[in-house]
Amino acid sequence: MLTQETKVGLFVLCGLVALVIVTVLLGDIHLGKRYKIKIIFNDVSGLPEKAQVRRAGVVVGKVTDIRLVGDKAQVVAFIKKDVRIRKDARARIVSFGIVGTKYLEITSGSEEEPLLEDGDTIIGIDPVSIERAVEKVLLGVGGLVEEIKGVGKEEELGKSLRVFLDNMGEVTRKLNRALGTEGQELEETIKNFNQLSANIREITDSLNQKSIISSLQKLDKTLDEIAKVAEKLNRGEGAMGRLLTDEKMAEQIEEMVYSLQESSEQAKKILQKTSGLRTAWEYQLNYNVNEEKLRSDFGLSLIPGKERFYYFSVNNIGESSNDTDSGEQKINSITVKVGKNLGLFSLYGGVIRSSGGFGGAFWPIKDRIEIDAEVFRFSRERAWLNAGTRFRINDWCYLRINGEDILNQGTVNSSIGIVLK
């Protein structure tokens, strides 16, 4: 059993580790080797500082500074050491979607050119200004309107309109003639419907006189048959009669009812045993600080006792034409965990975000503060490692800060969760 001093020491140690991780991630501290390049643009409108630098859609660096040099904009970016970029490479400003966050997309350049060195400068491709494009469209529309006005003054337009009106008049005259003929046919159709309704009335009148008497006679016969069946039941004839009058059969029925009662008692006991199963529904809203995106997780916890637990969830819920989003996280991934509680610690394993993995958690303050970490997607060169801290505000709400994919690109998620037990 851990002493109070040991628990406090572990808590302080884990808190320092979490603080270092969050400081590295939020402070944009680069632990890997990188080199600096400069990119010159005429216009960098909308490009944020600390924007990502991508090549072929993969994150290879990050913008660190944007400043004005003369009448040009100079963008300073740090690129990963193992990413080779040639001196004829070109960079352009791209956005995620139409109004999404902007980032730098850079080409690798041609093989015959030398590699860029630390501090080298390249020329960027200026983005297309939306305001200028809209201005050109409006000018084009104005010119089209002026041309239409000029056409309206020509004599040919008036002649065309007169021909069109003459054609419309001819069409209406033909419709009037057609409607006159159709009017006579419509009148004949109405007469036919009137004759049909008269014939139906004659048929119903004949039925009212003859069929009613026949129906009453059939009803009398049916009542007589019912009376005969009732007499047989009273005399104990037939299967139903024996059921009502035979004492042995009555005893068998009583035994069957008693067996059903015992079965229901057994079922009730089974339900009482399974009623100890606790469930908890959980919804977590995540905000990716680096990607500036919102994603949701929805899960269900099954807790049959104090030691074991099972957890099922759908992670990174969203709509996308790709299997992964800009942070390489799988869209609509599945998590199925099986775990065990060991005092202040818990261990689990299973499927984590549609990939095999395992993890653990530590509660320095029981039911209030949780520090956890999990590893999965071992098929990559570096596995996916998450680590974070959760602060429970009350029984149904908590706040969380989490480092995602720490061994690779390293992003930060801040989350708020709701638990319904």
Q: What is the pLDDT of residues 202-250, one digit of tens each?
A: 666 665 556 667 767 777 777 777 777 777 766 666 656 665 666 666 6
The H or E element containing residue 39 is strand 34-41
Q: Is the pLDDT of residue 44 over 80?
A: yes
Quote the crossing angle between the two packed helices 155-235 and 238-245, to the nearest 10°: 60
pLDDT at 327: 61
CATH match for 278-420 among 3.40.50, 1.25.40, 2.60.40, 2.40.128? 2.40.128
Burial of residue 135 (number of CB atoms within 10 Å: 0-12, 13-18, 19+): exposed
pLDDT at 259: 75
Q: Which of 348, 266, 228 is nearest to 299 (CA)?
A: 348
223 DSSP assignment:
H
pLDDT over 90, % of the chain = 12
Mean pLDDT taken over the chain: 77
pLDDT at 338: 93
Q: Is the pLDDT of residue 415 over 80?
A: yes
Work out whether the CA dihedral 234, 239, 242, 247 comes out positive or negative.
Answer: negative
131 DSSP assignment:
H
pLDDT at 333: 87
CA-based end-to-end distance of the chain: 30
d(CA 354, CA 332): 9
Where do the structural domains in the chain lie, given as residue ranges?
32-127, 142-221, 236-274, 278-420
> What DSSP assignment string belongs to 238-256?
HHHHHHHH-HHHHHHHHHH
Query: Is there a contact between 62 and 50 (Cβ–Cβ < 8 Å)?
Result: yes
pLDDT at 17: 77
> What DSSP assignment string belongs to 342-367?
ETTEEEEEEEETTEEEEEEEEEEETT
Give the amino acid at 170.
E
Q: Which of 409, 416, 414, 415 is nearest to 24 (CA)?
A: 409
CATH number of 32-127: 2.40.30
Q: Is the pLDDT of residue 190 over 60?
A: yes
Q: What pLDDT, in 10s, does the model give residues 343-364?
A: 889 999 999 988 899 999 998 8
Q: What pLDDT, in 10s, does the model give residues 309-342?
A: 899 899 888 766 566 665 677 788 899 999 999 8
